[in-house]
Amino acid sequence: MYLYYELRVMEDILLKMSPHTKAKHRILEYYLKAWFPILSKWNGRIVYFDGFAGPGKYDDDSFGSPIIALEVAKNHKLKLAEEIVFYFIEKDTRRAEFLKNLLDERYKYEKDDTYTKLPKNFKIHIENGDFNEVMSSILRDLEQEGANLAPSLAFVDPFGYSDINIKILGRILSFRKCELLITYMVGFLNRFAFDDKHRSSIRSSFLLSDEELNNIITIGNSEDREEEWLRLLSEKLIGSMKEYNSVGQDVYPLSFKTKDKSNRTMYYLVYFTRSKKGIGAMKEAMWKIGKSGNYTFSDYGFQPGQKSILDYSEEKPWIGLASQQLHKHFKGMEVELDAIKCYILLDTPLIFRKSILKELEKNGLIEVPDTRPKRYSYPEGVRIKFL
Ligand SMILES: C[S@@+](CC[C@H](N)C(=O)[O-])C[C@H]1O[C@@H](n2cnc3c(N)ncnc32)[C@H](O)[C@@H]1O
**Alpha-carbon distance 30 to 50, whole Å?**
16
In CATH, the number for domain 4-312 is: 3.40.50.150
**Alpha-carbon distance 365 to 221, whole Å?**
38
Contact 225, 219 (CB under 8 A): yes
**How much distance in Å is there from the Cα of 51 to the middle of ligand 1?**
7
Identify the pLDDT of residue 194: 87
Ligand 1: residue of 29, 159, 183 to mutate (most ligand atoms within 8 A of CB) is: 159
Residue 34 pLDDT level (bands cut at 50, 70, 90): very high
Of ligand 1's listed atoms, the one at least distance from the Cα of 68 is 9
Identify the pLDDT of residue 370: 83
Complex ipTM:
0.99
Residue 9 pLDDT level (bands cut at 50, 70, 90): low
Identify the pLDDT of residue 246: 66
**How much distance in Å is there from the Cα of 28 to the middle of ligand 1?**
16
What value, to the nearest 5°, has the Cα angle with vertex 119 and ends 138 and 42?
60
Nearest C-alpha to atom 8 of ligand 1 is from which residue? 65
Residues above pLDDT 90, as percent of the chain: 66
324-344 pLDDT, tens digit per residue, is 999 999 999 999 999 999 999
Q: Tell which CATH architecture fits domain 316-386.
A: Orthogonal Bundle (1.10)
Question: What phi and psi, each to the nearest 5 degrees, are found at residue 176?
Answer: -55, -40
**How much distance in Å is there from the Cα of 187 to the middle of ligand 1?**
18
**How much distance in Å is there from the Cα of 54 to the middle of ligand 1?**
5
Mean pLDDT of the region 138-163? 90
Of ligand 1's listed atoms, the one at least distance from the Cα of 56 is 9
Mean pLDDT of the region 178-200? 92
Pocket residues: Cβ below 6 A from ligand 1: 15, 52-54, 64-65, 89-92, 95, 130-131, 157-159, 163
pLDDT at 26 over 50: yes
Nearest C-alpha to atom 10 of ligand 1 is from which residue? 158
**How much distance in Å is there from the Cα of 159 to the middle of ligand 1?**
6
Identify the pLDDT of residue 80: 75
Ligand 1: residue of 52, 131, 157, 266 to mutate (most ligand atoms within 8 A of CB) is: 52
| Residue 248 CA: distances (Å) to CA of 171, 177, 275, 347 | 12, 10, 12, 20
Nearest C-alpha to atom 27 of ligand 1 is from which residue? 54
**How much distance in Å is there from the Cα of 130 to the middle of ligand 1?**
9
Average predicted confidence (pLDDT) for the chain = 88
Identify the pLDDT of residue 8: 62
Of ligand 1's listed atoms, the one at least distance from the Cα of 130 is 20
**How much distance in Å is there from the Cα of 242 to the middle of ligand 1?**
28
227-257 pLDDT, tens digit per residue, is 999 999 999 999 999 998 766 678 999 999 8
Mean pLDDT of the region 289-314? 56
Amino acid type, 263: N
46-75 pLDDT, tens digit per residue, is 999 999 999 999 999 999 999 999 999 999
Residue 81 pLDDT level (bands cut at 50, 70, 90): confident
Residue 367 pLDDT level (bands cut at 50, 70, 90): very high
CATH 3.40.50.150 boundaries in the chain: 4-312
207-234 pLDDT, tens digit per residue, is 999 999 999 999 988 889 999 999 999 9
pLDDT at 176 over 50: yes
CATH 1.10.10 boundaries in the chain: 316-386
Of ligand 1's listed atoms, the one at least distance from the Cα of 92 is 25
Question: What phi and psi, each to the nearest 5 degrees, are found at residue 43?
Answer: -130, 150
Nearest C-alpha to atom 13 of ligand 1 is from which residue? 52
SS3 123: strand
Nearest C-alpha to atom 3 of ligand 1 is from which residue? 54
Ligand 1: residue of 24, 31, 91 to mutate (most ligand atoms within 8 A of CB) is: 91
**Alpha-carbon distance 230 to 216, whole Å?**
11
Residue of 318 and 25 predicted with greater confidence: 25
